[in-house]
Structure 1
Amino acid sequence: MRETSGELARGGVVVRTLLSAIALSLGLLMQPSAVVGAGQLTEEPYIKPLKRKEPYRLYVFGDSFAAELADGLRWALRDRKDVTVIKRTKAATGLVRDDVYDWMAVIREVLDKHEPQIVVIAMGGNDRQDMRVAGRRLERFSEPWRAEYLRRVDRLLSMLNESGAAVYWVGLPSVRSTQMTRDYRRFNAYFRQATRRYDMVFLDVEKLFAGEDGGYSAYGIALDGRMQRLRDGDGIHLTVAGSQKLGEFVARRIRADLRAAAAASRSAN
């Protein structure tokens, strides 16, 4: 698994220092992936180079948190002509209630019709509930529930892996409710475990929005170096400044992988 965590500087220092710290921390672990094969270390781009001159199709899938992420990614990548960000999100959905919204079917249809080269996923926040499987109720976070949930995540990642798309799974941030935060960390552990199996990128964003004590904070250092409100009044969602900070963090990793893809394409030619 390729994992990135975000931790931004906080405190009353000058704006230039803050911006430098933000740029440094956002840029950590953004290097191309190294693949070992036949006893030799070689560089292989995580994003496959395009064979035709056209923009990369970047799809964002998930719930309302993913919608905010998609808005932030569009903002962060607004000046790039080689990437098109497409938002395919639906609030109050996840992997538990596939009878309400079947993400497997939705994503499979997109893969078949549009062949995205880059996929960003953020979900899980609505999955803190029991699930029904073959008429049987599985209690939330019980061992049978956990096994079924991991199976669903694995099915999704297996399908994406077969598509050849570069996958970035964005973890859940801490929220105002301490119980929800504990549950979100549980989901992050599930996603981290699942992405590791396929050597996919898991982006840990909890520290990106953490307060001085490492826990939830509605305020933080925005991309302009100023202290701003980053979280909505519900203690869960993001403000515009928060979504831009999240989008920039994820975009930093994607830009690094795009540079590696471009370098590989030049070397091949």
Structure 2
Amino acid sequence: MKDREILLIVTSVILTLIFSNLSLFLKSFASTPFASPEIKQAARQIQLDHFKKSEQDFWSQIKDINFDSLPKEPEIPPVKTETKVAVEPPKPATAKKQTPAKPKLTRPYRRFLFIGDSVMFDLGIQLQYTLKKKYNITDTKIDYKVSTGLNRIDYYDWYARTSQILNNYQPDVVIILFGANDPQNIIDFQGKAWAVLGKEWQKAYQERVEKYANLLNSSSVRKVYWIGQSIPTKSLYLKAFPIMNDIYKNASKSSSKIEFISTWETFAQAGKLVTVVADKSGKRGYVKANDGVHFTSHGARIIGDLVADKMVADKILKSPQPPKSPKKKP
């Protein structure tokens, strides 16, 4: 019976202490090994709240100070002394440094369109591969038509087709290769027929090329590369291609957007076609098919690298990063 009474008295005392100062009890009990994480967290929060209240009371006292009621220090009369003030000469005016203008950010060239005949198809396939592998350009498109060019517009109208695909695809760069099917009689825009390679033929063909160049120049295309014909084997092409290349080159001069790329000397030596040529890696191979006009895959790779290098020089493409050598294991 006595033990029970003692237990009741002790319990009453503890409860009285807890309710009289709960925060003190929690902080004291939190330091014991019997306290749970929740009790320890509650004790820390009480301590933090107490600190915040003390800080607020301190700044409230600072703000409540009336500085006008503080005793003023006696003023000390100034002592008059004669001092000579050195007059500094005026500083020369310095020109303000002009901050250099920020360089204009150029929009990257992402879409590449290849237009032409079956020879362009050979070149376009290789260019697609080169742009993807070396320059990470994947948005490319080839639009070609076998046995066409800028001569027989009555057979295939490249003006209408080009306008259509430019509007639909919206390319940044266009690469063109025409000519293999154009050395034939021509009908000019006035309806007159002219024999192949005569002066009137050259004039009529030049009108065809200039009209096509104007179409490209007035479009939203940012850059155009007109690829010249490479040296062939047949006599008709040997006579026609240099004349046609000059017409392409002259048409490109009237536009800052169009640039002519000559390929004649790439496979030529002493005025004749060199059938086996080494590429950039030193690998040798045949560059032309049996007709002396179409490229082999090896020849298309060489011309494709020539075009890609020109685009790098014009900052159309970024220089490819050299492959990283694998780290040697210790």
Under TM normalisation by the shorter chain, which class is it? 0.7 to 0.9
Q: Equivalent of 1:206, from 264, 275, 298? A: 264
Cα separation, 2, equivalents of 1:104 and 1:59: 15
Letter in 2 for 1:81: N
Once the two structures are superposed, what CA deviation does each residue of 1:132-162 show, in whole Å capped at 9, x if it has no partner?
A: 2454322222333222211111111111111
1:65 alignment partner in structure 2: 119
- CA shift at 1:177, angstroms? 1.6
Once the two structures are superposed, what CA deviation does each residue of 1:166-202 show, in whole Å capped at 9, x if it has no partner?
A: 0000000011123311210110011011111113211
Q: Equivalent of 2:158, from 81, 88, 103? A: 103
Cα separation, 2, equivalents of 1:251 and 1:83: 14
For the structure 1 residues 197 and 106, does the alpha-carbon distance in structure 2 shift closer, same or farther, using more than 3 Å as the test? same
Moved more, 143-152 or 86-95: 143-152
Counterpart contact for 1:66–1:123, Cα < 8 Å? yes
1:177 aligns with 2:231: no
Letter in 1 for 2:112: L
Counterpart contact for 1:62–1:121, Cα < 8 Å? yes
1:116 aligns with 2:174: no
Between structure 1 and structure 2, the one with the greater Rg is 2
Q: How many residues align?
A: 213
Could you list the structure 1 runs, at least 4 aligned residues long, displaced by more than 4 angstroms after superposition.
Answer: 259-262
1:155 alignment partner in structure 2: 211
Counterpart contact for 2:311–2:317, Cα < 8 Å? no
Structure of higher RCO (CA pairs closer than 8 Å, 6+ residues apart): 1
What does 1:1-269 correspond to in 2, within 5 Å?
49-50=106-107, 56-79=110-133, 80-82=135-137, 84-133=139-188, 134-165=190-221, 166-199=223-256, 200-211=258-269, 213-258=270-315
- CA shift at 1:82, angstroms? 4.0
More strand by share: 1
2:85 alignment partner in structure 1: none
Cα separation, 2, equivalents of 1:261 and 1:255: 6
Q: Which TM-score applies when normalising by structure 1? A: 0.72
Counterpart contact for 2:187–2:204, Cα < 8 Å? no
| Unpaired segments ≥5 residues, structure 1 | 1-43, 263-269
1:15 alignment partner in structure 2: none
Letter in 1 for 2:309: R
Please give the root-mean-square deviation of Cα atoms over the aligned residues, in Å. 2.4
Q: Which TM-score applies when normalising by structure 2? A: 0.60
Cα separation, 2, equivalents of 1:69 and 1:120: 10
Counterpart contact for 1:49–1:261, Cα < 8 Å? no
| Unpaired segments ≥5 residues, structure 2 | 1-102, 320-330
